[in-house]
Structure 1
Amino acid sequence: MDKRVVITGMGIYSCIGTNLAEVTKSLFEGKSGIVVDPERISFGFKSPLTGMVPAPDLKKILSRRQRISMGEESEYAYMATMEALQNSGIDMSYFEHNEVGILFGNDSVSKAVIEATDIAREKKDTQLIGSGAIFRSMNSTVTMNLATILGLKGVNMSISAACASGSHAIGLGFMFIKQGLQDVIICGGAQEINPYAMASFDGLGVFATDIDHPQKASRPFDVHRTGLVPSGGAATIILESYESAVSRGAPIIAEVVGYGFSSNGGHISTPNIEGPTIAMRRALEQAGIFPEQVEYINAHATSTPLGDANEAKAILEVFGKKPYVSSTKSMTGHECWMAGASEIVYSTLMLQNGFIAPNINLESPDDDVKELNLVSTTIKKEFDIYLSNSFGFGGTNSAIVVKRFK
């Protein structure tokens, strides 16, 4: 089996917009979603900067029984998924008669674990933790909640791969459908935003320190960057076999054609050049395209000197100087577990609407990245093929190639 895999729906719940229309506008305008979080100041954070999203109000949508097992990442994922399903023309009745799977990237549930532990420590009575706590505090919380709410009958797994989690979820969904094992899979990534999730990161001293200018704090590739900015929310895409999409008259947004992966096999947190190079080349090989056919790369670039530099060197090794390159993290910050999924949404919105979003705050590219064809202001341009990079702690790498459907 070697089926074509298409995107028929997308949904987004992001600090630059809580729906596709808002996010498209923000991307085109180069709008930052970074703010100063007062709660992080009270927590003693060295950097209180973050990308923030509003808490969804699900009381009128879901029952109490459904809500008590959902943490914030599941709530964000629900919002993104509902938009994606509507976008794809799938309603609840579809799940009753068709096998639909779910693969979501998620690698922490810090708040739920800490809150449950605090109750046990204070009350010395585990029964007071509550019946929903266990379902909020598992890494598979997003997939278990959405699969239950929607009544899904297909593959049901969470992908835990650090900051490449969302990308690997889409890549694996692509492989499942390509091999004929499923026809429709809800794929995506979700990231909690609360201070508990980011306290240990803050303690490493890797976050940006330009607190007086939050919207300028995330500066991938720029020599004046002071670190990355954490963020979160959720992103969902509906992957579907071409045959399934055509049979139900679904809108075909784009086609996923390649997925590459690798492991650095080195330092647990320091990236290298070889691993990303292998992932990108593998994605191109599977897509059956030459490097010069890729017109845009959404770089992983998180706004750290070594990470940005090594990715730049890997891109130059594989592609040379030709493709346009930008990091949407300059606007959103690093959305961690959801980033690999949200950046597929961001890049596909650009593909649909004929523009390349800028790498904002890029005033002085550092020496290691100057050879890249970096985009610092929005370019109005029709393009057909892009590649999106996602890398994570432990040396996990993912690259996905998407093309305009023809």
Structure 2
Amino acid sequence: SRCCASSARAPTSTSGRGSSRSGELHRFLAELREIEGLEIEGDVESGKIGRIKEKQRRLTRLMKAWACPPPPWREVSANLVWNIQNTPAAQISMLGRITGLAFAPVAACSTFGVALKLALDAIRRDEAKAVVVGATDPPPMPLTVGAFYGARVAAADGSVSKPMTGLRGTHVAGGAVVWIVGDLDYLTGAGFRPLGMEPLAVGVSSDADHIITPSKEGPTTAIRRALADAGIAPEEVASWDLHATATPGDYLEVENLRGILHEHVLITARKGTFGHGMGAGGGWELTAQYLGYQKGRIYPTPLAETELNPEIARVHERFAFNQGCPAPAGAAGKLSMGIGGINACVISKPLGS
């Protein structure tokens, strides 16, 4: 009987020789090599499709003649090639016919903040009038959820784990977020309407310490850098959205924040609403902040006042709970802390303030 190299068992002869010495295998590979060696001749544009189709026809006949199952290299989807980080950015460029630079910054949970910084920098350097900024995460996959569980940061008792409560862990989430950021005069002239707030600055830093446990110095450096670049004093900050993953790190994050900001700042935490998106999570939370300020509101969080962790309550008392409230006058901040120790802090102010 005829066999090929992709069979479940390698062909052998009666003398026990392995597949590398099989005469049948050598003949099969010679025929395969001849097909794969076909070159494009004549006009390239008109000849390339025909040559590809001819190869596929001859390969199909070869497999049938040798009664072979599909070899492994023919069972891998070509989609794997372009299933890489910059593909969503490339797709946006195609949909919008945007011919400027399209690429993908990767900064784990701080991705959206880092992308926003790159957009602001490009606009201020006059390299762009408008930038599409976004991040996307696939639906939660067993491999990802299992990895979060193995890292002891995933809640797994079947109930919603809210930040700043029992600190049982977070929930993996998927989805996307897309903004258009640009020069105010240019975009309003093109018919766009600004939404809620103006991003003033993004401060970034690295912990340079631990792959998953945040340091004190890294996030506080990002916060201070963002405030300085925005020209905003700590006492001018009226509201703040935490990274807060419903893990013990929530306590340290609030404690670090209070080392910079005053006791009256109104704090929100929204992973109990959205879950923890790796790239998009910070963008979801920042969008909620901007949409709220558009209506003069701080949107409610799932957190009830009676659920607030008592140790966190000793550090800070003013939180946005499940009723929502008017947006306080002043600037707003948003901190993201990514795996690997990369931090991004966004400082914004209400439009017209």
TM range (shorter): 0.7 to 0.9
Separation in structure 1 between the aligned mates of residue 163 and residue 219 of structure 2, nearest angstrom: 17
Measured after TM superposition, the shift of residue 198 of structure 1 is 2.7
Contact kept in structure 2, 1:230 and 1:334, CA below 8 Å: yes
CA contact (8 A) 1:221 1:366 kept: no
| Aligned AA (2:323) | T
Partner Cα separation in structure 2 for residue 382 and residue 369 of structure 1: 21
Q: Distance in 2 between matches of 1:368 and 1:289?
A: 26
Which residue of structure 2 lines up, in the alignment, with residue 404 of structure 1?
Answer: 350
Structure 2 partner of 1:206: 153
1:15-49 deviation line (CA, Å, top 9, x unaligned): xxxxxxxxxxxxxxxxxxxxxxxxxxxxxxxxxxx
**Aligned counterpart, 1:37:** none
Shift of the alpha carbon at 1:360? 2.1
Pick the aligned partner of 2:140 from 194, 212, 228: 194
Superposed CA deviations along residues 317-344 of structure 1, whole A, max 9, x for unmatched, are 1103121001111211112210121111
Deviations 1:262-287 (A, max 9, x none): 11110111111111111111111111
| Aligned pair partner of 1:221 in 137, 145, 164 | 164
Measured in 2, the distance between the counterparts of 1:209 and 1:352 equals: 36
Question: Is the 1:312–1:369 Cα contact (8 Å) retained in structure 2?
Answer: no
1:45-84 residue pairs with structure 2 within 5 A? none
Q: For residues 294-331 of structure 1, what are the alpha-carbon distances to aligned partners after superposition, in whole Å with 9 as ceiling and x for unaligned?
A: 111111001001x2122112210110312100111121
Q: Pick the aligned partner of 2:75 from 128, 146, 151.
A: 128
Among 320, 324, 332, the alignment partner of 1:379 is 324
Structure 2 residue aligned with 1:367, among 305, 311, 324?
311
CA deviations on 1:136-167 (whole Å, 9 max, x unpaired) are x2121211222223221112110111111112
RCO (CA 8 Å, sep 6+): is it higher in 1 or 2? 1
Partner residue of 2:172?
230
1:251-266 to structure 2, matched below 5 A, reads: 251-253=193-195, 254-266=197-209
Kept in 2: contact 1:167–1:339 (CA 8 A): no
Residue correspondence of structure 1 range 87-236 to structure 2 within 5 A? 124-135=71-82, 137-195=83-141, 196-211=143-158, 214=159, 217-222=160-165, 224-236=166-178
For 1:132, give the aligned amino acid: N
Q: 2: CA distance between counterparts of 1:385 and 1:314?
A: 19
1:295 lines up with 2:230 in the alignment:
no
Distance 1:133 1:149 in 2: 21
**Correspondence 1:330 to 2:275:** no
What is the percentage of aligned positions where both structures have the same residue? Answer: 25
For the pair shown, the structure with the greater C-alpha radius of gyration is: 2
TM-score, normalised relative to structure 1: 0.65
- The structure with the greater share of residues assigned to strand is 1
Determine which of 199, 220, 225 is the counterpart of 1:277: 220
Instruction: Specify the code of the residue in structure 1 equivalent to 2:154.
Output: F
Letter in 2 for 1:379: G
> Which string of whole-angstrom CA distances, capped at 9 and with x for unpartnered residues, describes residues 115-143 of structure 1?
xxxxxxx95432332333311x2121211
Contact 1:276/1:397, CA 8 A, preserved across alignment:
yes
RMSD between aligned residues:
1.8
TM-score, length of structure 2 as denominator length: 0.74
Q: Alignment length, in residue pairs?
A: 278
What residue number does 1:395 align with? 341
Q: Helix, strand or coil: the match of 2:78? A: coil
CA distance in 2, matches of 1:232, 1:347: 19
Counterpart-to-counterpart distance in 2, 1:152 and 1:339? 25
Deviation of 1:394 after TM superposition, in Å, equals 1.0
What does residue 351 of structure 1 align with? 293
AA matched with 1:299? L
Letter in 2 for 1:297: W
Say if 1:361 and 1:133 are closer, same or farther in 2 by CA, change over 3 A. same
Q: Aligned partners of 1:368 and 1:361: how far apart in 2?
A: 13
Of 189-198 and 178-187, deviating more is 189-198
Q: Which amino acid aligns with 1:210?
A: D
